[in-house]
A and B are shown apart, each in its own frame.
Chain A
Amino acid sequence: MSRPGLVALALLLWGAAWTGAHSLLDHADPRAASTVKTAPAQVRIWFTESLEPAFSSLRVVDEAGRRVDKGDGRVDPSNLKLLRVSLPPLPPGTYKVTWRVLSVDSHVTEGDFTFRVAP
């Protein structure tokens, strides 16, 4: 690469927004964007890296934006890559799971997905 090219690349990289996406969602139960017949008793999300329990959380809200989980969302003590929250019996509808986690390499990731409980 030419020198001006390098300089341009460096500037580009400097100017870009630094949103770290380090510990990524591996898989979730219920699956993202899935429809389940029976309301799940909990939401579990597995990540690719170990999480910091003090700064990792998740919440579940219904279509109206009301929080529906039992407020015990936290990292599983026996598996630091697993984030879980328990749910009361949910009526049919679409629910949104929002998570924000800090991984042990000191980076924050956040995201959300929805699932649907079929009538």
Chain B
Amino acid sequence: MSMTALGLCARWTHVGAGVFLVGTFAFLLLAGRSDRLTVVAWERRLTRWTRWAAGLLLLSGLLSLSYQAAVVTGRSEDALSAATMLRVAGATQFGTVWLLRHGLLLLLAGLILLREREESGWDWAAFRGEGLLLGGTGLGLLAWAGHAAAVEPGGLAAAGADALHLLAVGVWLGGLLPLALLLRAAGQEVGADARPFAVLAARSFSQISLIAVLAVAATGIWNASNQIGNVASLLGTRYGHLLLLKLGLFVPILALAAVNRLRLLPALSGEAETVGRPAMRRLASFVALESALGAAILGVVILMSVTPPGRHAEPWWPLPFRFAYPPPHDVAGAGTRLLVGSQVALVGVLGLVAGWFLGWRRRLVVGVAAAVLVAGLGVALPPLAVEAYPTTYRRSPIPYQAASIADGRHLYATHCAACHGRTAEGDGPDAAGLPRKPANLSDPHVGRHTAGDLFWWLTRGIPGSGMSGFGDRLSEAERWDVVNFLRTVSAAGRARGLTAVVEPDRPWLVAPDFTYAVGPGASRSLKDYRGRRLVLLVLFTLPDSRPRLGQLARNYDILQTMGADVVAAPTDGGDQIISRLGASPRILFPVVTDGAREIVAAYSLFQPAAWRSPPTHVEYLIDRQGYLRARWTPDARDWAEATGLLAEIQQLNQETISVPPAEEHVH
């Protein structure tokens, strides 16, 4: 058996034993004291099992540490290296949590051995309470060594929710086995003395487990939203599939639990020979089945713990369609259909709720309401359905950066412009010979397709349209560069109306990140200014821009005092640009000597005349969240005097931050 399988088995045993111990102590507390012979025998048996469980818990814990030692160094022989294990325990968060937990688990093991000395009622409660406390803390702390620990921000809340999830699972799932054993003992002919005790215990457990299951569901949804986040990751990643598998195992458990609660539990107090005992035996086997399914769920959970969470993995969309609002293509009457359909569906939902509570002809009402709901959805949804592809929800692995956009622009000119046109309007010289007119890529509707859609078409082509696939000609990174470029073109199309006046509190246009250096100075990125400074990005030409640069230089100290920095990039690429600028008037703000070509290739697209070559002087004001907020060209008066520019900067300074920072990857 492989190292990994062994390590996973150890973890599974560890969690399983922990859950069993927590559930058993909780159940013993819940069931109360009894001196009936059958109950005493059952308790003795459980105690024996807890000893085994505690032993297994410690052993599998040790194995988990040794497995982790092999994982962190990547050498399987380190699983047996005491030195590596000590380093893992001493110098990682996993190790800290491990030490803490195993300290508590050792105490728990000692406690279980002391059980024999129980004398009074106080002893009875203290023993079980302490077992629950130590076992529960040991189980809950696991949350701080798993995926939840890495959630940011809100790691404490995420780990807390995960801990609560584990505890609720412990109380509920771990309590099933003791319950099954008790019911089986009491369901036999000789166990008659324990029957009232068993019935009462089953009822209290039923109440507690209902609360626990609700807690499991609530914290589970919270965990899933932290680790997966969206439908694409649920349906399209391995982590999401494991969660679906987990839910798939959870549904039969819930069905069994419902049968137990609604049918078998009331039957327990019936006539012993004909109703009570058969019901009790069936309940015992159903509960045992539930706990077996629970053990399978724990197996899935262990697999999830070593799988990258959905939020980090790239989803592979399994369906040929998705729902989009608004739809990328305008379908006639879609708005009306959506309105009518959603209202009909709402009536269906109300009918369902009403039917459930009315009780009057419930089946008929519920059936009709369900039909109305389906009909409503049938009217509303089809216009929203758009074709989807496996890569539809892929996020670009290449950040939305000037360098990538510049590369994409170059690739576009080489491979795409012949058909789609130099300015991306679908009017290239080769367009005429194609079966379908090439898409106008500067049209706003392009922005309504996901980046993953574009990537798919770029990779595989569009059958029957003349668009061929570039999967074999361009590398994956190059295709994403083209997607980043197309995103810029589409954003620039929507930015036509951008002016020199900041629209208050309405940032929407993401400023692509860029990296620059001045001479041998360290390179800096736009992102370095994030949250701290505004940036005035100036694309300039010589000699026309020299007076304007001099004016900005004279006002540089005021600009800096107001929280704005200036970055100037020459549109001609910048060979010896500082020498060419000359000594007077003195310019001390960053003049890009390294990276200007990329900045200009990307940012010139946001100019009013986006495709003019070479580009002319233009200035962009970028806010602290990374959004492009205003644009000035010398033909406008607004910033011709420095006061005009300062007024816009002041406007941005007064703004309350209302949106999250600009995304670094296109969607």
Q: Which residues of A contact B (CB under 8 A)?
A: 1, 6, 9-10, 13-14, 16, 18, 20-24, 26-27, 29-31, 33-34, 36-38, 40-41, 48-50, 52-55, 100, 102-108, 110
Contacts and interface: CB of A to CB of B under 8 A. Distances in A.
A102 to B, nearest CB: 5
A10 B299 CA distance: 11
B312 A18 contact: no
Contact of B152 (A13, A20, A38, A49): A49
Interface residues of B, number: 47
B92 A105 contact: no
B152 A29 contact: no
Contacts of A105: 145-150
B217 interface: no
B555 interface: no
Q: Which 6 A-B pairs have the closest CB atoms?
A: A54-B91, A105-B150, A106-B94, A49-B150, A52-B92, A55-B72
Given A6-B245, A36-B594, A103 B150 contact: yes
Contact of A13 (B74, B241, B477): B241
Nearest to A38: B520
B150 A29 contact: no
A55 B72 CA distance: 7
Given A29-B523, A55-B92, A34 B403 contact: yes
B192 interface: no
A21 B239 CA distance: 12
15 contacts: A9-B241, A13-B245, A14-B303, A18-B307, A22-B308, A27-B527, A31-B403, A34-B403, A36-B523, A41-B522, A48-B312, A52-B92, A52-B94, A55-B73, A106-B146
Interface string B503-531: 00000000000010101101101010000
Given A106-B92, A106-B94, A50 B241 contact: no
A108 B313 contact: no
B125 interface: no
Interface of A: prevailing SS: loop
B238 interface: yes
B104 to A, nearest CB: 19
B308 A20 contact: yes
Nearest to A40: B523
Nearest to A104: B93
Contact of A108 (B8, B74, B248): B74
Contacts of A34: 403
B92 A102 contact: yes
A100 B74 contact: yes
Contact of A50 (B74, B94, B150, B527): B150
Given A29-B523, A30-B523, A108-B71, A22 B312 contact: yes
B313 A21 contact: yes
Given A10-B245, A29-B525, A31-B401, A23 B72 contact: no
Contact of A29 (B148, B308, B515): B515
Given A6-B245, A31-B515, A104 B150 contact: yes
Contacts of A26: 664
A49 B159 CA distance: 15
B308 A52 contact: no
Interface string B73-91: 1100000000000011001
A16 to B, nearest CB: 8
The interface centre, meaning the residue of A53, A103, A104, A105 with most chain B CB atoms within 10 A of its CB, is A105
Contacts of B146: 105-106
Contacts of B241: 9, 13
Given A13-B245, A22-B147, 16 more contacts: A10-B245, A13-B241, A18-B307, A27-B527, A37-B593, A38-B519, A49-B150, A49-B152, A52-B91, A53-B91, A54-B92, A55-B91, A104-B93, A105-B148, A108-B71, A108-B72
B663 to A, nearest CB: 13
A56 to B, nearest CB: 10
Contacts of A1: 248
Contacts of B74: 100, 108, 110
Contacts of B8: 18
Contacts of A50: 150, 152
Nearest to B249: A6
B68 interface: yes
Contacts of B312: 21-22, 24, 48
A37 B522 CA distance: 12
B306 interface: yes
B91 A107 contact: no
A30 B515 CA distance: 9
B153 to A, nearest CB: 12
Contacts of B94: 52, 104, 106
A105 B146 CA distance: 5
